[in-house]
Structure 1
Amino acid sequence: MNVTNVLPKDAIPSIDDPEFGVDYLGDADDDAVVLGDDPPKAYPVRVLNFHEIVNGVVDGTPVAVTWCPLCGSAVAYERRVDGRTLEFGVSGKLADDDLVMYDRETGSEWKQSLGACIAGELEGAELTVLPASVTSVGAFRDRHPDGVVLQPADAESEAASDTDDPAPVDYGDDPYESYFDREGFGLAAHRGVDGGRSWDRGDDLDAKTVVLGLERGGDALGFPVSRVADAGGVATAAVGGEPAVVFATADGVHAFADPGYEFAPTEDGFEADGATWNGATGESADGRSLERLPARRLFAFAWQDDHGADAFWSP
């Protein structure tokens, strides 16, 4: 693991007292990280680009909604470790081009995509992944008309600056738009400079292919959205001995506990057990629901960094 110091600590400020409202700054179809359904809350990437971490509480559980733009990595974690509640900030370091968080209680450092402490007093500890999904604000609104959305913070961020010093944020800007469009991956690709990392997998997966990663019982398997889509939009596999079903839809890629049904794609979703199922929500037309699984949404290169070249699902 290659850890580099890129920015001053907290040059990208976490949001530690999040506010939510019905209004949203940006386009209705902008991406949003959505955490839970009770109560429904959306965390727009347009805001997370400038903060990367939101420390909050959902239904009494302390949570950290985390986002690494370079890795396309969206993961929601519980902030409790061995009975202690932690608050996370942006360390200014990268580990294999992934955000390194630090906790303000011990100063320990955590790799965001893994949720694992890599240095400090808590080294070796791991955060618990929470069920969450990545979908559009439009889809979130359709499903939860009364749902609330994270509001912009009154803060300065290095992500809004052309230097290492924080600058006032214009949440209408997208500092990573060109990075997502161009070839290459990681910090060098974002900065548009030479010296970036190479991707030696060949043509089977692009480095920035979106992957939904599941980890259960010491087993890890990443589902590339392109492979799931090519398989008809549905994939099944046992991860850690537990069956999972993954759907690729227009609203993203989503994982649920597999009830053992034979899902077949249709124009309206997926048919199984005499009902039509929504692959994004796990809900059936007759009122049943699948259990959403804790998962990590990230780029293929980041999943491979964490779990190796063979940790990808294939049909």
Structure 2
Amino acid sequence: MNVRDVVPRDAIPSIDEPAFAETYDGDPDDEAIVIDFEGAPARAYPLGILHYHEIVNDEVAGRPIAVTWCPLCASAVVYDRTVDGRALEFGVSESDTSGGSKDSLVLSFGVSGKLADDDLVLYDRETDSEWKQSLGECIAGEFEGRALTVLPASVTTVERFRRDHRGGGVLVPPGGRSEASGDGPEMAPIEYDAAPYERYFAGDGFGLAAHRGDGSREWGRDDLAPKEIVLGIERDGTALGVPRSRVVGADADRENARGPEDEATDDATTESGVVTVTIGDLPIVVFATPDGMAAFESPGYAFTSTDDPHAFDGDGTRWNGATGESTDGRNLARVPTRRLFAFAWQDDHGPEAFYGE
């Protein structure tokens, strides 16, 4: 792991007192990290805001969370901020003490100014430990070797969020100054519509050097692009990255195999897809829609694409590929995932840790 200092600590300021509104002044097609925990309205954290802050320390439904974003890796991960004592599992009630001691420490995270393999390094203000964002693992300090708990989240557009979560809140830009606004390590006033990573996302290169226009890291494979979007899933010590192209391609193959009499549409085969994988002992269904990817515990149904690229048929009803909700009132259980570029997943887990290898 290559760890290096890039900018001063907190030159990219975290958001520690987030505010939310039902309105959003940006482009409705802007992407956002979305959480939808039981007991609280859904929340969206637009990436156009996170470019300048990278971390939001928040609390939702009584759970301290860190919404984290690394623009270089396109890595969107939501973590539980509780460590020490019992490692909280999503869905376990606070009254359940079977997991061990409830004496736990809630961390508050900031941007260290370091990169580990081109990925954001967080630091916690309580112990000064450092954490690799894409892994959630402490790489230096008191908690070295410990890992944060990943929580269920997704990345979709603000417009789709509004359709699926009426009454949900969208993060309000706090303003201020950030290193991401300037041309060097100095902080500058934030202009949220400036799109500081637009050229990087559109280019072929990857990593800090590509962002700064100084070249690119090498990529030794041609079956996946280094900036292919991957949904990373871990369970029982097994890690599997599911590339978007392989979900869409697998579904296209199935549609094509049915023949023209089945009237498969172009939208269903080119914009959406579904695959089922088993990680550890858990079957997981992964949906790809035009607005993002999502993973849920598989109920054992055979899902197929429809004429609506946002929806899938299964067990006699239609399912929303972003939320896992069916038209007859059922809900699939969302699986904790990491959304990131292929090169970042490979940095963390190796070249064989992809679906379809």
Pairing 1:294–2:336 present = yes
Residue 153 (structure 1) shift: 1.0
Give the match for residue 87 of structure 1: 108
Give the % identical residues.
62
Please tell me whether the aligned partners of residues 25 and 171 of structure 1 are also in contact (alpha carbons under 8 angstroms). no
Residue 39 (structure 1) shift: 1.3
Once the two structures are superposed, the pairs formed by residues 173-212 of structure 1 within 5 Å of their partners are 173-194=194-215, 196-202=216-222, 204-212=223-231
Residue 137 (structure 1) shift: 0.2
Relative to its length, the structure with more strand (as a share) is: 1
Q: In 1, Cα distance between the equivalents of 2:61 and 2:331?
A: 20
Q: In 2, Cα distance between the equivalents of 1:139 and 1:46?
A: 16
Residue 154 (structure 1) shift: 2.9
**SS across alignment from 1:283:** coil
Give the match for residue 23 of structure 1: 23
Residue 266 (structure 1) shift: 1.4
Once the two structures are superposed, the pairs formed by residues 1-315 of structure 1 within 5 Å of their partners are 1-37=1-37, 38-82=40-84, 83-194=104-215, 196-202=216-222, 204-232=223-251, 233-268=273-308, 269-314=311-356
Residue 23 (structure 1) shift: 2.2
Q: In 2, Cα distance between the equivalents of 1:42 and 1:305?
A: 28
Residue 145 (structure 1) shift: 2.5
TM (norm. structure 1) is 0.98
**SS across alignment from 1:256:** strand
Residue 314 (structure 1) shift: 1.2
Aligned positions, number? 313
**SS across alignment from 1:47:** helix
**What stretches of structure 1 move > 3 A for 4+ residues in a row?**
none
**How far does the alpha carbon of each residue in 1:62-82 deviate from its partner, in whole angstroms, 9 at most, with x for none?**
000000000000000000002
**How far does the alpha carbon of each residue in 1:80-104 deviate from its partner, in whole angstroms, 9 at most, with x for none?**
0021000000000000000000000
Residue 256 (structure 1) shift: 0.2
Q: In 2, Cα distance between the equivalents of 1:166 and 1:118?
A: 27
Aligned alpha-carbon RMSD (Å)? 1.0
Q: In 2, Cα distance between the equivalents of 1:260 and 1:57?
A: 34
What stretches of structure 2 of length at least 5 have no aligned partner? 85-103, 252-272
**How far does the alpha carbon of each residue in 1:177-201 deviate from its partner, in whole angstroms, 9 at most, with x for none?**
000001110000101113x210001
* Larger of the two Rg values belongs to structure: 2
Q: In 2, Cα distance between the equivalents of 1:126 and 1:223?
A: 22
**How far does the alpha carbon of each residue in 1:253-278 deviate from its partner, in whole angstroms, 9 at most, with x for none?**
10000111111111132111111111
TM (norm. structure 2) is 0.86
Which residue identity is paired with 1:45?
L
Residue 144 (structure 1) shift: 1.9
